Amino acid sequence: MKKIAVFPGSFDPFTIGHEGIVRRALTLFDEIIIAVGANALKKSYYSLETRKTMISSVFADEPRINIDHYEGLTVDYCKRKGANYILRGLRTAADFEFERAIAQVNKAMAYDIESVFLLTVPEHTPINSSIVRDIIRSGGDASRFVPAAINLKDYRGEED
């Protein structure tokens, strides 16, 4: 059976931390779906379409990675896609506690779906989308924190 993993997140924006997790996970799974969670209640900085375009540009040469979005429960989305794994990245103990609760609740809802966690490399530990957004909002240069394929200048003015 094909091993399909869903990597769900806000990716607002997608960072080198996210990229690192996805590239390393390619050795574990046949296919990875990077699924942007469309949360009507949570205001994003970049629009859904912009976030998907940014991520697509990073993995243009990688046929085993697909970009999508979803609403509702992650486990329901996984079932629709035939994915048995949820991929998440861990930076700190705080991430662990947050992820533990989500993964255990997901397990209770969908026993066949396994959450798989990869620990980030030390140099990516301090990187998070909210700090990257703050840098962009304040007119700083955040390019070193996002994948090389994403030219943030191209997305100026596309904030939601």
Residues that bind ligand ADP in the complex, under the rule CB under 6 A: 9-11, 15, 17-18, 21, 88-89, 91, 95, 120, 124, 127-129
Q: Is there a contact between 113 and 106 (Cβ–Cβ < 8 Å)?
A: yes
- The residue among 56 and 128 lying less far from ligand ADP, judged by its C-beta, is 128
- The residue among 1 and 14 lying less far from ligand ADP, judged by its C-beta, is 14
Residue 63 CB, nearest distance to ligand ADP (Å)? Answer: 22
**Among 69, 91, 107, 133, the one annotated catalytic:** 91
List, by residue number, the catalytic residues. Answer: 18, 42, 91, 129
